[in-house]
Amino acid sequence: MALHLYDTRHREKVPFKTIHPGKVSMYVCGVTVYDRCHLGHARCYIAFDVIYRWLKQSGYDVTYVQNFTDIDDKIIIRAQTEQRDWREIVDENIEAYYNDMDRLNIQRANHYPRCTDYVEHMIGIIDVLIDKGHAYVASDGVYFHVDSAPEKYGQLTGQSIEAVRSGASGRVEDQSGKKDHKDFALWKAAKPGEPTWDSPWGPGRPGWHIECTAMSLDHFLNEFDIHGGGHDLRFPHHEAEIFQGECYTDHSPVVHHWMHNGFVNIDGEKMSKSLGNFWTIDEILAKVDPLVLRFALINSHYRSPIDMNESLLKDAERNYAKLLDVYETMVKQLGQGEPVNLPHPDTASAQPLSKGLGMLELMGEHFAKAMDDDFNTREAIAKVLTALREMSKILDAGLEESDAHAFAHYCVEWLEETAGTVLGLLPEREEVLRIKIDPRREAIAKKVEHLLEKRAEARASKDYATADAIRDELASLNVIVTDTADGPVWELR
């Protein structure tokens, strides 16, 4: 099945068609860098990271652009209250952004334009819009005149122009120079103490919506394949972009596919700064492993809301541990040299290994099918988990040594492609082995081994009181002992 994605504009899943064969141009609205990122940002950028990864995996040559909004009311206010240069705040938060994203194993976009580098472009676009009669100069800036292109209204949210007209009539009390309350600012005239740029309409700074239009069109000329962002950006931000972009370029559509991710909720309510119920990425990563968080966030479809809570994280922790555990086991079993041949994968075979391989192959196909179906990561993870079970099952049954190596090769490859490359959930192969030589573990290994020996002796002589006492002692060292068929194993808690 070919890739389908949900297009906000069409309100349904549509076949994905690119403007240029084999190439994808993708723009995602980035953050306004007045503060640190929170969980909601993590969700958004992980979602588009997975989309980016899957497009590449599907053979597309993807150009991914994500901006930084580095000038805005909030940044100015922040600078004023903190008595600092706004540029300092911006740089600091951009650095923190990269840091957060790296920790979540989010691949870098190809370009990260900053608004302030595009002010010239914005002025150029505004100029054209004025010439074409879509914008007008007022006392306090330049506005886009929505009624100059009414047919473009409500493309993403389905709201009628009349409804908004009446809906807002009660609270249009701003003293701006707008002719109509639906109009939005393209250029804001300077106020005292604010950073400003020169323009034909006097000193000032760009409006929020024009920024994304300028940056996306600068990278992609007149049209591009995917425009993404949070659900809340549909209106007015993205609808404003449709007005600006299409009126400026005379192309329709400029954006071929609109994609919006769902929100992170806390106790059923949207996480937001005004409600005070947000967690920054930094805060949550102090408590949760970054890849576990990543797992938790892609363990649901990118468009559905996620209600973040303890049990969700616990669930993710368990499943993720299982994934790592099987992966680690397989990596350790790789052995030396080339793998020998495995039996032919065949779900109908009576031979367990052959049948198991058939199951894994099938899960791989289902995985791809899930991803092709509007990037259904939830379903894709279900396939990975089923595959993990299958792998453990085959391992449990016992394999000849050469089969075990070959099987491990197969499994490692399978996992690295699905859970690794596509979902971004696996650490580096070396990293997995390095966990074994954790310095904390090294430090107490001798002592633990010694105690385990004594415990083994006690158990052999059925002195279970002593055995349990030793286990308690180990527990006080934060060592968890688990008896398996191959003897006890231990790990640090």
Residue 277 contacts RNA per CB under 7 A:
no
By the 10 Å C-beta count (0-12 exposed, 13-18 middle, 19+ buried), 99 is classed as middle
Contact 161, 152 (CB under 8 A): no
Task: Find the binder of RNA among 81, 83, 169, 274 (CB under 7 A).
Answer: 274
Provide, rounded to whole angstroms, the least separation between the CB of residue 240 and RNA.
9
Q: Which positions from 349 through 378 interact with RNA, judged by CB under 7 A? A: 373, 376, 378
The set of residues, in sequence order, having a beta carbon less than 8 Å from that of 78 and lying 6+ positions away, is: 34, 35, 86, 89
Residue 234 contacts RNA per CB under 7 A:
yes
> Of 19-27, 143-151, 305-313, 419-427, which part binds RNA (CB under 7 A)?
305-313
Residue 396 contacts RNA per CB under 7 A:
yes
Task: Find the binder of RNA among 198, 269, 400, 457 (CB under 7 A).
Answer: 269
Task: Find the binder of RNA among 82, 102, 232, 449 (CB under 7 A).
Answer: 232
Strand arrangement of the beta sheet that strand 23-28 belongs to:
61-66, 23-28, 224-230, 255-261
> Would you mind telling me the total number of residues written for the chain in this entry?
493
Task: Find the binder of RNA among 66, 199, 261, 333 (CB under 7 A).
Answer: 261
Contact 15, 3 (CB under 8 A): yes
- Cβ closer to RNA: 19 or 481? 481
Residue 4 contacts RNA per CB under 7 A:
no
Task: Find the binder of RNA among 268, 276, 337, 398 (CB under 7 A).
Answer: 268
Provide, rounded to whole angstroms, the least separation between the CB of residue 21 and RNA.
28
Q: Return the H-helix or E-strand segment holding 447.
A: helix 439-460
Residue 73 contacts RNA per CB under 7 A:
yes
By the 10 Å C-beta count (0-12 exposed, 13-18 middle, 19+ buried), 340 is classed as exposed
> Of 96-104, 194-202, 402-410, 480-488, which part binds RNA (CB under 7 A)?
480-488
Residue 111 contacts RNA per CB under 7 A:
no
Contact 75, 33 (CB under 8 A): yes
Residue count, binding to RNA (CB under 7 A)? 78
- Cβ closer to RNA: 442 or 449? 449
* Nearest in space to 297 (alpha carbons), one of 38, 73, 474: 38
> How many other CB atoms are there within 10 angstroms of residue 24's CB atom?
22
* Distance from the first to the final alpha carbon of the chain: 44
DSSP string, 152-176: GTTTTT---HHHHHHHTGGG-----
Retrieve residue 405's tokens: 């190596």
Provide, rounded to whole angstroms, the least separation between the CB of residue 420 and RNA.
18
- Cβ closer to RNA: 283 or 442? 283
Task: Find the binder of RNA among 138, 382, 432, 444 (CB under 7 A).
Answer: 382
For residue 50, how far is the Cα from the chain centroid? 6
Residue 41 contacts RNA per CB under 7 A:
yes
- Cβ closer to RNA: 44 or 104? 44
Provide, rounded to whole angstroms, the least separation between the CB of residue 380 and RNA.
9
Provide, rounded to whole angstroms, the least separation between the CB of residue 488 and RNA.
8
Provide, rounded to whole angstroms, the least separation between the CB of residue 337 and RNA.
28
Task: Find the binder of RNA among 344, 393, 436, 450 (CB under 7 A).
Answer: 393
Q: Return the H-helix or E-strand segment holding 392.
A: helix 377-397
Task: Find the binder of RNA among 57, 58, 148, 159 (CB under 7 A).
Answer: 159
Task: Find the binder of RNA among 50, 101, 189, 233 (CB under 7 A).
Answer: 233
Provide, rounded to whole angstroms, the least separation between the CB of residue 382 and RNA.
4
- Cβ closer to RNA: 168 or 221? 168
> How many other CB atoms are there within 10 angstroms of residue 425's CB atom?
23
Residue 236 contacts RNA per CB under 7 A:
yes
Residue 230 contacts RNA per CB under 7 A:
yes
Residue 402 contacts RNA per CB under 7 A:
no
Buried b (16+ CB within 10 A) or exposed e, 121-140: bbbebbbebbeeebbbbbeb
What are the φ and ψ backbone dihedral angles of 306, each rounded to 5 degrees?
-115, 130
Residue 400 contacts RNA per CB under 7 A:
no
The set of residues, in sequence order, having a beta carbon less than 8 Å from that of 260 and lying 6+ positions away, is: 8, 228, 229, 230, 231, 233, 234, 303
- Cβ closer to RNA: 198 or 232? 232
The set of residues, in sequence order, having a beta carbon less than 8 Å from that of 11 and lying 6+ positions away, is: 158
Q: Which positions from 44 through 63 interact with RNA, judged by CB under 7 A? A: 44
Task: Find the binder of RNA among 75, 89, 126, 271 (CB under 7 A).
Answer: 271
Provide, rounded to whole angstroms, the least separation between the CB of residue 62 and RNA.
19
- Cβ closer to RNA: 56 or 459? 459
Task: Find the binder of RNA among 319, 355, 358, 479 (CB under 7 A).
Answer: 319
> How many other CB atoms are there within 10 angstroms of residue 255's CB atom?
28
Q: Which positions from 200 through 219 interact with RNA, judged by CB under 7 A? A: 208
By the 10 Å C-beta count (0-12 exposed, 13-18 middle, 19+ buried), 180 is classed as exposed
